[in-house]
């Protein structure tokens, strides 16, 4: 690569849930640093549109694969197809996730499984597709999008908290297991971030409590000492930094992007 090449030039980055929200912002941040990107998610039209737009904006190759991260066979096919197109992944960002809220007595097994399968097992399965090849290559970055709910307990989201705590446990275990390889494994833990997840949470609080939308939003914002929602680009910049060559000694970390909500 020429000396003035962007820091991730030519590296293949796979971003799950890359069509919108934090995942799309991460894809932008990686593409802007020269990575070729595969967006993965369930909505083919959205992925196709965003891939074309990113490619045009950043002048890098961007493709997409339709995948539901709860389906092991689809994951395997999608990762094989992505590797055939752009080569093995050098970067994997496990971002696909759902946030479901319910009081614990209403958290039945179906609800529990849906959250754990998407937010924890999905990441486990995607990592399984790439980590051996990353370890045998000269470069590997895995970033798991966890949450403040991966580091502390919150009411009404027992399944989500369990999944995100599990994701941080997985991050720490793999960081140690692969420490003698070029692979780093980290988690990024956002506070309430301005995406569809927060709009959904606000709508849910309003529907359940009869409170106005503004009051429901204010309740979520009050968690953040800075008194605002985090922007997806702020999370994405932290992810991109972890993916740089210069972040090689940062592994096993859970980095909060939450305005001081937790310390």
Nearest CB to ligand NDP, comparing residues 42 and 211? 42
Minimum Å distance from CB 82 to ligand NDP? 14
**Other CB atoms within 10 A of residue 105 CB:** 6
Residue 150 has, within 13 A of its CA and on its CB side, a CA count of: 31
Q: Which residue has the tokens 């339709």?
A: 66
List Cα–Cα distances, 98 to 40, 95, 199, 200, in angstroms. 15, 10, 13, 10
Nearest CB to ligand NDP, comparing residues 181 and 231? 231
Q: Check if 156 is active-site.
A: no
Catalytic residue, chosen from 139, 160, 178, 192, is 160
Minimum Å distance from CB 232 to ligand NDP? 6
Nearest CB to ligand NDP, comparing residues 17 and 88? 17
Nearest CB to ligand NDP, comparing residues 13 and 96? 96
Structure tokens at 50: 């965003």
Give the number of residues written for the chain.
263
Minimum Å distance from CB 40 to ligand NDP? 7
**Other CB atoms within 10 A of residue 71 CB:** 15
Minimum Å distance from CB 116 to ligand NDP? 12
φ, ψ dihedrals at 255, nearest 5°? -95, 120
Report DSSP state, residue 182. S
Which residue ranges make up the site for ligand NDP (CB under 6 A)?
16-17, 19-23, 41-43, 46, 67-70, 95-99, 118, 145, 147, 190, 192-193, 195-198
Give the ranges where 117-231 is alpha helix by DSSP (H). Answer: 122-136, 158-177, 196-209, 213-221
Active-site residue set:
160
């Amino acid at each position: 690569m020429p000396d003035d090449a962007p820091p991730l030039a030519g590296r293949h980055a796979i971003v799950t849930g890359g069509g919108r929200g934090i995942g799309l912002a991460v894809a932008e941040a990686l593409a802007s640093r020269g990575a070729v990107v595969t967006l993965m998610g369930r909505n083919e039209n959205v992925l196709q549109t965003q891939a074309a737009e990113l490619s045009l904006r950043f002048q890098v190759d961007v493709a997409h694969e339709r995948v539901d991260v709860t389906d092991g066979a689809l994951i395997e096919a999608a990762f094989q197809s992505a590797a055939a197109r752009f080569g093995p992944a050098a970067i994997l960002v496990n971002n696909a996730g759902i946030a479901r809220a319910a009081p614990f007595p209403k958290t039945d097994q179906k609800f529990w499984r849906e959250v754990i399968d998407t937010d924890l097992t999905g990441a486990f399965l995607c990592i399984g597709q790439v980590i051996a090849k990353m370890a045998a290559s000269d470069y590997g970055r895995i970033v798991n999008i966890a949450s403040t709910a991966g580091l502390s307990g919150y009411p009404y989201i027992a399944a989500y908290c369990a999944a995100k705590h599990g994701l941080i446990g997985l991050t720490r275990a793999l960081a140690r297991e692969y420490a003698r390889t070029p692979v780093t494994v980290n988690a990024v833990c956002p506070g309430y971030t301005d995406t569809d997840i927060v709009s959904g949470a606000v709508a849910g609080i309003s529907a359940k409590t009869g409170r106005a939308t503004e009051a429901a939003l204010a309740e979520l914002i009050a968690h953040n000492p800075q008194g605002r929602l985090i922007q997806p680009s702020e999370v994405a910049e932290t992810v991109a930094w972890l993916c740089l060559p210069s972040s090689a000694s940062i592994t096993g970390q859970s980095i909060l992007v939450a305005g001081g909500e937790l310390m």
